[in-house]
Structure 1
Amino acid sequence: MAAMTKTSRGRHDGGLPAEVTSFVGRRHEVAEVRRLLAVSRVVTLTGPGGVGKTRLAIRAGQEVRRAFRDGVWLVELAALPVDTRGAGTDLVARAVAGALDVPDRSAAPPLTVLTNHLRGRQALVILDNCEHQLAPCAVLADTVLRAAPEVRILATSRQPLGITGEQTLPVPPLSLPDCEAPHSSLEAFTQGEAVRLFAERGRAAHPGFAVTEDNRDVVCRIVRRLDGLPLAIELAAVRLRALSARQLLDRLDERFRLLSAGSRAVLPRHQTLRALIDWSYALCSQEEQLLWRRVSVFAGDLDLEAAETICSGDGIARRDVVDLLIGLVDKCVLTRDDHQESVRYRMLETLRAYGAERLARCGEADTLRGRHRDYYRGLAGLARAEFFGPMQLRWLRRLQAEHANLRAALESSLTEPGTREDGLSMATDLLYHWLSSDHLGEGRGWLERGLAVVRSPGPTRGRALWTAAWLAVIQGDITSAAAMLREGRSIGERLGDDSILMYVELFDGQVAMCEDRAEEGLRHLERALERHCCTGDPTGLALTLIRVSLAHSFLGHPERAVAAGRECLAVCEAHGEGWHRAYMMMALGVDLWRQGELKQALGMERKSLAFNRSLGDLLGAGITVEVLAWIAASREEFQRAARLLGIAGTVWATLGARMSGFGYLAGYHDACEDRTRAALGERAFEAAVERGARLDREEALAYALQEEQPARDQGGGAEEPARLTRRERQIAELVAQGLTNKEIAASLVIAQRTAEGHVEHILTKLGFTSRAQIAVWVRDEGSAGQG
């Protein structure tokens, strides 16, 4: 972080350096440090180098110093040599004693001198950068805390001290904007922690720099590329003296050479990003260094099984991988993330790039990329083989978690001449991943890229053609789908391959249905059903029965529609399958609605939507919300029907096609819209549709399932003002007037600490990071009240 200057050590509050640059963000982390210090005598801030542990510790120390009669003292340990034998306690004790101005004249051991000095004192000692003197720091902290009951210790380290009573607080990178989300106001964008730090340091480097509407996307990408790492952002911002923001972004691939202009006043290891990470690397054992290099081959994050399979061998035994992972987590090289059913490990991009560079230098990059490619290709095949069964939901969630690695494996496979057919097969195996996630367009892209380089008319190409055709149908590209199916049929007939022909027949039926050739479509579907029954493929059987049921319902054959539906549900239940079952319930709900069985139809659609929601299946959710809108209109719940149409419209816009894959049902949509518009009137109808369209995905699904009434759906755009207590609203209004905490306390005749606590609660409740955001919120609330 930025350089700091020391104040006089003779004052009780003078053991901390003065901040010479602004402190950005970390409001919640500072509050958490204060809370932990109130309940524990030793707190350790952990995190990778450059994440801002030192600045956070110093700011927290400044805010709590009134609670420590004998001062808050910073002890900088970074300049001490690495302790490799756990025997450096004297060295650390001398450093602490020097920081506290304890005379070093006694013949007694330094730790004894220090504990004698601290006994009976009320002080906070900040031990900064403990990782390279971990064992000595642990011994010192434990000894001091036992000898001096009113002393507390706040440590910063890349791994915990490991002593009794220690509370740890992982320090995350600064909060990052979402570059893909719809644009918020420029004011809100610049209040984000990473953006604000970049903007302030950028202005310091080049006074004419500012974040504007013109460069906000570039700034967003810069801070995301730098992982929200404060040191990296500060070093990057310095380059604005000579580069524009766009030039800086274009050169970030050379980040280790570019970001090398830190202040000469700070320690050498903080002067360059490379030196900082070199420092972390040197603290790892040889085996941990080896694993760091190998883990860099992963994109995004990884799980234990993948690490054991890909990274073991040639110096790392498989059984040792878990301990080495734990070591890298302890040293903050990896971050542990808890997922629903597993633990995953994530590495900051900056650390990953460093590891990849070292991996290439060691000549292992090609080997590790090959292992990575083979592992994820095998994972995709296993997922497809086990998809239709009780492991289905687990597999789909796992594939979603592995998306970045799957993408990297596909890229590698389709780039290497000898692995392209395997890559096309992998893209095909991931069919249900593409269908049930937000990556449908990407999936079609991978398939078409593979089809462009794998021209041999064999089983791999035949299977990929009908798979890509299905995705094309969902996207409304019926012409392309029909062309791919014609080629797929030709390959299937030449090979005599029923596994290709039965799916071609199925999707030929879908194409015919979408082209208003319903009778012909049903004939294709029934031929597909015969083939699937003969081959014993439960996935294809269920898929075909769903389409057969919808076709019979559409053609006015309710008994046949229900019979096909019941057969499909029986197949799914026999295998413990959920995805096709959810689509079948949607289809049965359509037929029940057409027969006027509205309560039963509603129950079917809700069950279907609940499953699709648990999976994150946008297509499944979209068609089910559509049917719920039709049901609502039939029940004369026209406001609800219009909002549901707005929600569904957002889904179809995202997928790029109206009624994706179910276009032949569009007449039901049109009838629902016409009836609802007539009941509400044009203006009210459009307003209700717009309210539905404005809801985010979770709010929209909760509304569709009638779980809750979203705040934005309660008749206006503002959130419910009652979220704050009367006193908190009073204080929020004073903040909006520009009063400081001290002035608020004087105005309300309360303690300044009480005022500070109220402001902190307001920020937390509203999810804000600055007083300016409170002011905007108060203004908006006032406008809403007047409206």
Structure 2
Amino acid sequence: MMAASKQTSRGRNDGKLPAEVTSFVGRRHEVAEVRQLLSASRMVTLTGTGGVGKTRLALRVGQEVRRAFRDGVWLVELAALTCPSSLVPAVAEALEIRDDCTASRPAALAERLRGKQALIILDNCEHVLDSCAVLVETVLRSAPEVRVLATSRQPLAIPGEQTVAVPPLSLPCQQDGIRSVKELTQAEAVRLFTERARAVIPSFAVTDGNGEVVCGIVRRLDGLPLAIELAAVRLRALSPRQLLDRLDDRFRLLNGGSKAVLPRHRTLQALIDWSYALCSDKERLLWQRASVFAGCLDLEAAEAVCCGDGIAREEVIDLVIGLVDKSVLMREDLCEGVVRYRMLDTVRAFGWERVESDRGREALRARHGGYYRRLAARARANMFGPEQLVWFRRLQGEHTNLRAALEWSFTTAGQGRDGVLLATDLLYHWITSYYLAEGRYWLGRALESQAGQPADRGRALWAATWLALLQGDVQAAYALLEEGHRLAERLEDEPLLAYMRMYSGMVAMWDGRSGEAIARYRQALPRFRSMGDPVPLALGLLRLALAHSNQGEAEQAVAAAEEGLALCEAGQDRWHRSYTMMVLGIELWRQGDLERATELERRSLDVNRSLGDVLGEAITIEVLAWIAGSRRQYQRAARLLGVVTGVWGMVGAPLSGYGHLAEYHDACVRRAREALGCAAYEAALRRGAGMERGEAVAYALREGRAAPRGGAADSGAGPLTRREAQIARLVAQGMTNKEIAASLVIAQRTAEGHIEHILTKLGFTSRAQIAVWVGEQGRAGAGPDSGDSGDSGDAVEERRAGGAVS
């Protein structure tokens, strides 16, 4: 029978788990998830790449659920097994079952466990996977009160098995930036590095001086606990900066693990070697080839880049599944229903080192670059129509791969033309994301390369002109247009000349010469109509409408905008339609039709939000600020101006890039400042600037409550940051992590990290406690549920500021 390793006075047996030698950091969400699954299922497997912390998580769960198992929680360490036939005896020995009949028969061992109420933790099953599957299924059938928690780099694939993919530790959020040491140290990876560093240097602390370096270290190590622990030990001899600088050679640097563990767990190199050994020959080959991808990849990309020379195209899907099962590739789901796969940078570097030769690496880079050149061309062909949203998001998800393809093109002999075409095909990607400056950089390299055909250069010239204008760099735009006109005339290229005329109109609008702009647009539009390409036609019509509006020619402005809207609706285009609605809204605002103008701007903003177009969001929120000013809602106007002030700087596109629109901005600022007074105006401006992107868009759309006013979370007096207070409200509304992430336009993992921070700060263990706390704060009038809502809240603020509200 199972021996009593730790027998209590009531006959309980707590089993045999090792004591924790070092502190357990983070993983609150994962522990809760595994505990919940174990309460409903008898078989749970923790999967994940080597070094991600599966064993520590399993042991922590075992410690926490120990009281629920009368006959204890038992750890069975399988890593040292050298052959499957040793499995049953090893399990029997770990469970302290002294019976020779269990030496090799799973059924005999299962019989000895009948009637026992125990949790068995099988650690490191991957190298004896089939034998583990047979044993566990036999035990679960024979012993109905036994549960199994396994750790493995791939699932056991038996009936009833629940799997939990253990992610790396949470990292500091890149999108929100590092605002304080306190927020930085809330990231699990930073906390682990700090605690292990203190074991080496007791005085170590994360400070303003080293916070960015520590953040860089844990990011370079992908948040892998083993890698972080190995790196922290190196602080005996290196400063954090020196450590970060040497992480390019991470496999040599991180080789000093504990002598108390198996050799393959002592170094990062050995740990990933172990994963590599578990793969088939073709899986290893796919691992090597997939390491050419700089970011995520999908099945289509894997088939295009990784097949051939030993891997048939139809085999790729099964090999990808195999690498996902072995936790080499990590699955990520996108909202369009497309599955993508991510490889940790450490795993990618390992695979790249095993590509046989420089020639092999260059061949992979060539296939990678060619694939993304074709992908960008397909995106450009679908940039007007029903597939537009899919392509916008796809390019955003492929940004790091696109960047790698561009770099390869411009640094490899004979590939310059591909670089020119790729940079120009990505024009809308540069505009609709955060990449205006980067787009100008790549287009600049394209023009410097002198590669490609003259027509290719012409496309690059007008694309670079648009980006220069968006950034307010009119001198550069003039120079680009001058060369473009000369080239178009020399080539007698009428389409190129039409583009140059349209962008000349944009420059004229920037200078306030709207009459000249109208003339330029009217020269270009007939050619665009004859080309049959709706993209320049839609762009020219919305620009023409804007110019007529500035001239005070309302009828012509509305006519041009309505023609553009009809064109977009016929082609099911959303992006050009949203900008055309924005322009029409400006004209209706100028006419005093504030209700229709507001509706158009909100519809435009909603589309831009769905497309992820930050620049479009900023322009539309700017117009909504002007409308609020016309309604004498000066607090709201100032807050919206605060929102867009930060966005203009973030995307690198000053409002001056839209020429005369800056005049409307200045007028709105002047009226709001005069109505509120300098102090109140600046306070409202700061509140707007402090809003997170999702919160700001929701406020502009009048969705839900506005930002908290006067509460603890807003003033800084309470325990939560503004973002945490916002998420606490959404938790209280019953939203899931996925719903919260979608609402705030953040990653689900980021939302989960914020919730862990909330639980830690408030000392809670459940979401229900958060909901109760939010309600209590709201009743007290000083918490995350307090604040204004809708126009009534703005009206209250107007009265406080002494302004009139219509």
Normalised TM-score (structure 2)? 0.87
1:377 aligned residue: 373
Aligned CA distance change for structure 1 residues 666 and 229 (closer, same or farther; 3 Å): same
2:415 is aligned with 1:419: yes
Among candidates 497, 520, 524, match of residue 501 of structure 1:
497
Mapped to 1, the partners of 2:102 and 2:611 lie a distance apart of 68
2:214 aligned residue: 219
Mapped to 1, the partners of 2:269 and 2:186 lie a distance apart of 29
Mapped to 2, the partners of 1:47 and 1:241 lie a distance apart of 30
Mapped to 1, the partners of 2:754 and 2:665 lie a distance apart of 40
Mapped to 2, the partners of 1:651 and 1:173 lie a distance apart of 31
1:524 aligned residue: 520
2:477 is aligned with 1:481: yes
Structure 1 counterpart of 2:77, one-letter code: E
CA contact (8 A) 1:711 1:720 kept: no
Aligned CA distance change for structure 1 residues 371 and 669 (closer, same or farther; 3 Å): same
61-70 vs 531-540, which moves further: 531-540
CA contact (8 A) 2:719 2:762 kept: no
Aligned CA distance change for structure 1 residues 112 and 392 (closer, same or farther; 3 Å): closer
CA contact (8 A) 1:191 1:770 kept: no
How many angstroms does 1:116 deviate by?
2.9
- The one-character-per-residue Cα deviations of 1:145-196 (angstroms, maximum 9, x if unpaired) are 1111111111001111111111111111000013564433323322321001
Mapped to 1, the partners of 2:596 and 2:548 lie a distance apart of 19
2:51 aligned residue: 50
Mapped to 2, the partners of 1:74 and 1:339 lie a distance apart of 37
Which structure 1 segments of 5+ residues have no match? 1-6, 83-87, 733-762
1:166 aligned residue: 161
1:203 aligned residue: 198
1:28 aligned residue: 29
2:701 is aligned with 1:700: no
- The one-character-per-residue Cα deviations of 1:199-238 (angstroms, maximum 9, x if unpaired) are 1111112334322211110000000010000011111111
1:468 aligned residue: 464
Aligned CA distance change for structure 1 residues 526 and 29 (closer, same or farther; 3 Å): same
2:326 aligned residue: 331
714-723 vs 107-116, which moves further: 714-723
Aligned CA distance change for structure 1 residues 423 and 309 (closer, same or farther; 3 Å): same
651-660 vs 233-242, which moves further: 651-660
SS at match of 2:355: helix
Aligned CA distance change for structure 1 residues 783 and 584 (closer, same or farther; 3 Å): closer
How many angstroms does 1:260 deviate by?
0.4
Mapped to 2, the partners of 1:390 and 1:298 lie a distance apart of 28
SS at match of 1:689: helix
Mapped to 1, the partners of 2:279 and 2:247 lie a distance apart of 26
Aligned CA distance change for structure 1 residues 660 and 516 (closer, same or farther; 3 Å): closer
2:239 is aligned with 1:240: no
**Aligned pairs for 1:141-540 within 5 A:** 141-179=136-174, 181-341=176-336, 342-361=338-357, 363-454=359-450, 458-540=454-536
How many angstroms does 1:446 deviate by?
0.6
1:61 aligned residue: 62
How many angstroms does 1:570 deviate by?
1.6
How many angstroms does 1:657 deviate by?
4.2
Percentage of pairs with the same residue: 60
2:629 aligned residue: 633
Among candidates 674, 678, 682, match of residue 678 of structure 1:
674
2:78 aligned residue: 77
- The one-character-per-residue Cα deviations of 1:522-543 (angstroms, maximum 9, x if unpaired) are 2222212233223332111111
2:627 is aligned with 1:615: no
CA contact (8 A) 1:475 1:655 kept: no
Mapped to 2, the partners of 1:769 and 1:141 lie a distance apart of 38
Mapped to 2, the partners of 1:29 and 1:657 lie a distance apart of 41
Mapped to 1, the partners of 2:246 and 2:297 lie a distance apart of 28
CA contact (8 A) 1:723 1:765 kept: no
Mapped to 1, the partners of 2:678 and 2:701 lie a distance apart of 26
Over the aligned positions, Cα root-mean-square deviation in angstroms equals: 2.6
Aligned CA distance change for structure 1 residues 325 and 602 (closer, same or farther; 3 Å): same
Aligned CA distance change for structure 1 residues 309 and 710 (closer, same or farther; 3 Å): same
Aligned CA distance change for structure 1 residues 769 and 61 (closer, same or farther; 3 Å): farther
How many angstroms does 1:113 deviate by?
3.7
SS at match of 1:768: helix
2:30 is aligned with 1:41: no
CA contact (8 A) 1:457 1:491 kept: no
CA contact (8 A) 1:695 1:712 kept: no
Aligned CA distance change for structure 1 residues 687 and 185 (closer, same or farther; 3 Å): same
Aligned CA distance change for structure 1 residues 771 and 649 (closer, same or farther; 3 Å): closer
CA contact (8 A) 1:296 1:353 kept: yes
How many angstroms does 1:667 deviate by?
1.5
- The one-character-per-residue Cα deviations of 1:68-107 (angstroms, maximum 9, x if unpaired) are 111111000011126xxxxx3x421111001011114338
Mapped to 2, the partners of 1:418 and 1:298 lie a distance apart of 21
SS at match of 2:19: strand
CA contact (8 A) 2:417 2:452 kept: no
Mapped to 1, the partners of 2:762 and 2:231 lie a distance apart of 27
- The one-character-per-residue Cα deviations of 1:359-409 (angstroms, maximum 9, x if unpaired) are 144852111110000000011111112211221111111111111111110
SS at match of 2:362: helix
Mapped to 1, the partners of 2:545 and 2:674 lie a distance apart of 31
How many angstroms does 1:714 deviate by?
6.9
Which structure 2 segments of 5+ residues have no match? 8-12, 729-751, 765-769, 787-806
Aligned CA distance change for structure 1 residues 521 and 468 (closer, same or farther; 3 Å): same
Normalised TM-score (structure 1)? 0.89
Mapped to 2, the partners of 1:678 and 1:322 lie a distance apart of 65
624-633 vs 107-116, which moves further: 107-116
SS at match of 2:649: helix
360-369 vs 702-711, which moves further: 360-369
Aligned CA distance change for structure 1 residues 8 and 442 (closer, same or farther; 3 Å): farther
Runs of 4 or more above 4 Å deviation: 7-11, 360-363, 713-717, 719-724, 763-766, 769-775, 781-785
- The one-character-per-residue Cα deviations of 1:617-669 (angstroms, maximum 9, x if unpaired) are 11111111111111112122222111111112122222334315312121111
How many angstroms does 1:266 deviate by?
0.4
Number of equivalent positions? 736
Aligned CA distance change for structure 1 residues 719 and 315 (closer, same or farther; 3 Å): farther
Structure 1 counterpart of 2:232, one-letter code: A
Mapped to 2, the partners of 1:771 and 1:542 lie a distance apart of 52
CA contact (8 A) 2:514 2:548 kept: no
2:687 is aligned with 1:691: yes
CA contact (8 A) 1:221 1:249 kept: yes
- The one-character-per-residue Cα deviations of 1:650-699 (angstroms, maximum 9, x if unpaired) are 22222334315312121111222222222222222221121111111101
Structure 2 counterpart of 1:185, one-letter code: S
CA contact (8 A) 1:619 1:660 kept: no
CA contact (8 A) 2:711 2:781 kept: no
525-534 vs 425-434, which moves further: 525-534
